[in-house]
Amino acid sequence: MTPSAILESALYVTDLTAAETFYTGILGLPLLGKVEGRHLFFRCGPGVLLVFNADATKVPPAPDARLPVPPHGAVGEGHLCFAATADEIMRWKAHLEAKNIAIESEFEWPQGGRSIYIRDPSGNSIEFAEPRIWGL
């Protein structure tokens, strides 16, 4: 057996309000769900981006929880990469700069394909890259 795709990706943040503003207002992701103080869920193409308050998700579920999701979390800055064509990367760069979001790094990969990197309000590294960097 081999998984066919990644359904969800998760990032952990320190400020859910700032994260919601960033991911909806700057990146334009539609908000699918929200629990104050715990999480935000966003639609991204065929998948879902989960944004968690790590302090809240480290707490084990109550014995009688309706959805007994095991505890999880991360400490420090994570990384997520959004797929983008070369033209989309140029448009993202202009859009992000217009929103005063600093481009931390941009380059052409040796095997071909371009990437740009920014930071979300919690310091997570967010990349926009051409899928061909992975031969896709």
pLDDT digits (tens, 9 = 90+) for 66-80: 999 999 999 899 999
d(Cα 106, Cα 120) in Å, to the nearest integer? 16
Question: How many other CB atoms are there within 10 angstroms of residue 27's CB atom?
Answer: 20
d(Cα 114, Cα 104) in Å, to the nearest integer? 14
- Overall pTM > 0.85: yes
How confident is the model at residue 3, as a pLDDT?
A: 86
d(Cα 45, Cα 19) in Å, to the nearest integer? 19
How confident is the model at residue 49, as a pLDDT?
A: 98
d(Cα 121, Cα 55) in Å, to the nearest integer? 17
Percent of the residues in the chain that have a pLDDT greater than 70, as a whole number: 100
How confident is the model at residue 16, as a pLDDT?
A: 97
CA 79 from chain centre, in angstroms, equals 7
